[in-house]
């Protein structure tokens, strides 16, 4: 921060930001097929759950079953597919010679074709009934020629010679949020919404931790079905609320504004972070005010040590606060809960899940490592389930827990990939060599190496040696965001390995909304916004809007608050009624041309 003027700007100002609500998309489902093998009339079937954008033609190619056989087994599919519909895939209709070369079906309806030896672009286009120009437009890199093992994307909604109905994309998904009540089960919810319990489970990432009272889940509705009318308690709204920002300005850590601004080191780091967060929050509060929020806003400097926050939190007016944003420290949060047990407290920075255990009025909005690992496993299965996936398990004590978690979640997710029969491979590279990994790499398909580790020595060896391996084998490395901070890992090397990782946040600088926010931030505060400025906006807008719409009881209805975040998404859920809310949002990112972009 170059000025402290951001702390004394006029309290009211208008922000010309486009603020519209929209439905948050569920980024990832665990595969496209349920682990079921029902029999009907003596025939054996697999079950495929239809996702948005998929067509009957694409499903038929992925399972190596003719469209006619699918229609015979699913007569209602003649009228088109709906999201969440369960299709029976007759196993006696599988064309065995096509199974090994069957393309991979994506959640958006596109097919991934692995190029075989001597295949040409024209031959592949003819095979799928796709215009070669359309195929080239979707795969511009193919203009330079095809190599065995390359992956081509077959655009959705195409397939010459097929019945037009077979090319009709599944209708947009209709989903409702449901707060689980004590005693409810997947079976009872299935009866309530008239939908298969397995569909509810799949729509919520498999519910690996089970169904727990207090958590918000998504329930997919059948085509043309209306959700049951459930009386919700009317929100207790008031004319005016009180919002308090508890931020670690730590002004006493800076000798004076003048000396700090002239010093080589600039502001104390906590001061800089708090000022950025505060500025973003001010823009959000002004935007909320324009939407109708009537609130008194308190700003309290709680510093970054117990001595400071203990003194700051003795103010009697804090007992009347409805929503606290901050503090950033767990001990300070516990102090706030003791002071005002009815208010909701939002922790906007990374914290252990312990901060929400036994504290139902606390939100931890920074997605934890465990949830990001689980998100990574689902992504790998969905995007690369038919590739050569290898889990790297070096003998490093500090990595054991992450390795075990990843092996469990990745194995479960891969088991639901249509057409995959291989078990999850694992390899044991060391801190100085690749161990048995080279013998498990394949030349005929992409090798996806999943490396849940933060051991610098091991990772440095791994990345360095894989660079030379990449010359004759295609390799993609899936790791952790912390790798980007390791000085021994060159960004250029990671870029060459298509380094992919899960993150709790992502900001697209090309997004017009981000650009508008940056412009507004710079104009008002004479400084550029960083991640904390964006975080201050997203968190304050999300929770302020929830307070405005549902009053002080908003926490259990956060799933109904749809915003369009600039930096951090929100998918809040409880692991039990006695615990607070944690964010399960994640986004897969990838290094491409030395830039971080959303992974395909």
Q: Please check whether residue 61 is in contact with residue 103, taking contact to mean a CB–CB distance below 8 angstroms.
A: yes
- Write the pLDDT tens digit of every residue in 338-368: 999 999 999 999 888 889 988 999 999 999 9
Q: Please state, as a whole number, how many other Cβ atoms lie within 10 Å of the Cβ of residue 108.
A: 13
Taking alpha carbons only, the member of 68, 596, 74, 583 closest to residue 372 is 583
User: What phi and psi values does residue 32 have, to the nearest 5 degrees?
Assistant: -115, 0
Q: How far apart are CA 404 and CA 351, in angstroms?
A: 22
- Residue 321 confidence (pLDDT): 95
Give the range among 24-28, 331-335, 495-499, 573-577 with minimum mean pLDDT.
24-28
Q: Please check whether residue 364 is in contact with residue 355, taking contact to mean a CB–CB distance below 8 angstroms.
A: yes
- Residue 77 confidence (pLDDT): 76
Average of per-residue pLDDT across 64-82: 82
- Residue 214 confidence (pLDDT): 74
Nearby residues of 118 by Cβ (< 8 Å), 6 or more positions away: none
- Residue 8 confidence (pLDDT): 29
- Residue 165 confidence (pLDDT): 72
- Residue 575 confidence (pLDDT): 73
Q: Cite the residue boundaries of each domain of the chain with CATH code 3.40.50.2300.
A: 238-366+511-570, 370-503
Residue 560 confidence class, pLDDT cut points 50, 70, 90: confident
User: What phi and psi values does residue 276 have, to the nearest 5 degrees?
Assistant: -65, -50
Check whether 336 has a pLDDT greater than 70: yes
In terms of pLDDT, which residue wins out, 19 or 218?
218
Does this model's pTM top 0.75? My answer is: no
Longest dimension (CA), the chain: 84
State what percent of residues in the chain have pLDDT above 70: 87
Domain 370-503: top CATH class: alpha beta
Q: Chain centroid to CA 459: how far?
A: 25
- Residue 34 confidence (pLDDT): 33
- Residue 344 confidence (pLDDT): 96
Q: Is 164 exposed, middle or buried (0-12, 13-18, 19+ CB in 10 A)?
A: exposed
- Write the pLDDT tens digit of every residue in 308-320: 899 999 999 999 9
Q: Chain centroid to CA 10: how far?
A: 36
In terms of pLDDT, which residue wins out, 543 or 46?
543
Average of per-residue pLDDT across 281-294: 95
Check whether 99 has a pLDDT greater than 50: yes
Check whether 29 has a pLDDT greater than 60: no
- Residue 41 confidence (pLDDT): 52
In terms of pLDDT, which residue wins out, 161 or 203?
203
- Write the pLDDT tens digit of every residue in 414-433: 887 877 777 889 999 999 99
- Residue 413 confidence (pLDDT): 87
Q: How far apart are CA 356 and CA 371, in angstroms?
A: 15
The rounded mean pLDDT for the chain is 83
Sheet holding 475-479, edge to edge: 425-427, 388-392, 447-450, 475-479, 500-503, 587-592, 595-598
Check whether 150 has a pLDDT greater than 60: yes
Give the range among 140-144, 333-337, 543-547 with minimum mean pLDDT.
140-144
- Residue 76 confidence (pLDDT): 65
Residue 44 confidence class, pLDDT cut points 50, 70, 90: confident
- Residue 9 confidence (pLDDT): 29
CATH for 238-366+511-570 (3.30.360.10, 3.40.50.2300, 3.90.660.10, 3.40.50.300) = 3.40.50.2300
Residue 18 confidence class, pLDDT cut points 50, 70, 90: very low
- Residue 193 confidence (pLDDT): 85
Taking alpha carbons only, the member of 36, 112, 359, 49 closest to residue 214 is 359
Q: Is 384 exposed, middle or buried (0-12, 13-18, 19+ CB in 10 A)?
A: buried
- Residue 225 confidence (pLDDT): 64
- Residue 192 confidence (pLDDT): 87
Taking alpha carbons only, the member of 240, 241, 237, 288 closest to residue 12 is 288
Average of per-residue pLDDT across 491-506: 94
Top mean pLDDT of 60-74, 92-106, 175-189, 521-535 is at 521-535
């Amino acid at each position: 921060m170059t000025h402290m003027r951001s702390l004394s700007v006029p309290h009211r100002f208008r922000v010309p930001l486009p603020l519209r609500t929209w439905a948050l998309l569920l980024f990832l489902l665990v595969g496209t097929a349920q682990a079921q093998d029902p029999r009907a009339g003596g025939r054996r079937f697999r079950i495929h759950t239809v996702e948005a954008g998929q067509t009957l033609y694409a499903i038929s190619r992925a399972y190596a079953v003719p469209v006619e056989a699918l229609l015979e087994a699913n007569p209602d599919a003649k009228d088109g597919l709906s999201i969440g519909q369960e299709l029976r895939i007759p196993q006696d209709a599988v064309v065995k010679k096509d199974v090994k070369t069957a393309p991979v079906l994506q959640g958006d309806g596109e097919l991934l074709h692995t190029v075989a030896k001597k295949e040409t672009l024209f031959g592949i286009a003819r095979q799928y009934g796709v215009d070669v120009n359309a195929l080239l437009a979707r795969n511009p890199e193919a203009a330079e020629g095809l190599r065995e093992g390359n992956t081509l994307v077959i655009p959705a909604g195409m397939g010459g010679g097929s019945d037009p109905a077979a090319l009709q994309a599944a209708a947009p998904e209709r989903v409702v949020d449901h707060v689980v009540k004590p005693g409810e089960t997947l079976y009872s919810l299935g009866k309530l919404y008239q939908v298969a319990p397995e569909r509810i489970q799949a729509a919520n990432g498999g519910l690996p931790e089970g169904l727990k009272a207090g958590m918000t889940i998504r329930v997919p509705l059948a085509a043309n079905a209306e959700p049951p009318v459930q009386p919700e308690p009317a929100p207790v709204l008031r004319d005016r609320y009180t919002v308090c920002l508890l931020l670690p300005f730590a002004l006493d850590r800076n000798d004076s504004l003048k000396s700090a601004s002239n010093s080589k080191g600039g502001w104390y780091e906590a001061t800089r972070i708090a000022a950025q967060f505060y500025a973003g929050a001010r823009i959000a509060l002004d935007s909320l005010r324009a939407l109708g929020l009537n609130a008194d806003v308190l700003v309290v400097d709680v510093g970054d040590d117990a001595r400071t926050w203990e003194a700051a939190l003795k103010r009697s007016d804090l007992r009347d606060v409805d929503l606290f944003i901050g503090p950033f420290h767990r001990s300070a949060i516990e102090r706030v809960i003791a002071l005002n047990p009815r208010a909701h407290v939002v922790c906007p920075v990374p914290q252990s899940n312990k901060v929400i255990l036994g504290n139902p009025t606390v939100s931890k909005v920074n997605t934890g490592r465990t949830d990001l690992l689980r998100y990574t496993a689902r992504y790998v299965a969905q995007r690369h389930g038919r590739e050569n996936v290898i889990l790297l398990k070096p003998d490093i004590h500090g990595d054991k827990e992450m390795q075990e978690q990843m092996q469990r979640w990745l194995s479960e997710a891969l088991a639901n990939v249509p057409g995959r029969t291989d078990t999850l491979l694992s390899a044991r590279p060391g801190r100085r060599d690749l161990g048995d990994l080279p013998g498990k790499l394949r030349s005929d398909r992409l090798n996806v190496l999943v490396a849940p580790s933060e051991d610098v020595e091991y990772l440095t060896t791994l990345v360095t040696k894989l660079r030379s391996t990449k010359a004759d084998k295609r390799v993609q490395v899936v790791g952790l965001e912390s790798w980007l901070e390791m000085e021994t890992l060159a960004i250029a090397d990671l870029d060459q390995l298509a380094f992919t990782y899960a993150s709790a946040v992502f900001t697209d600088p090309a997004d017009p909304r981000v650009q508008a926010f940056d412009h507004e931030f710079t104009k008002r505060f004479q400084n550029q916004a960083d991640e904390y400025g964006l975080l201050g906006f997203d968190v304050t807008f999300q929770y302020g809007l929830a307070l405005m719409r549902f009053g002080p009881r908003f926490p259990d209805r956060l799933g109904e608050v749809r915003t369009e975040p600039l930096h951090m998404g929100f998918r809040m859920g409880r692991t039990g009624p006695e615990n607070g809310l944690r964010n399960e949002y994640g986004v897969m990112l990838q290094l491409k041309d030395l830039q971080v972009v959303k992974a395909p």
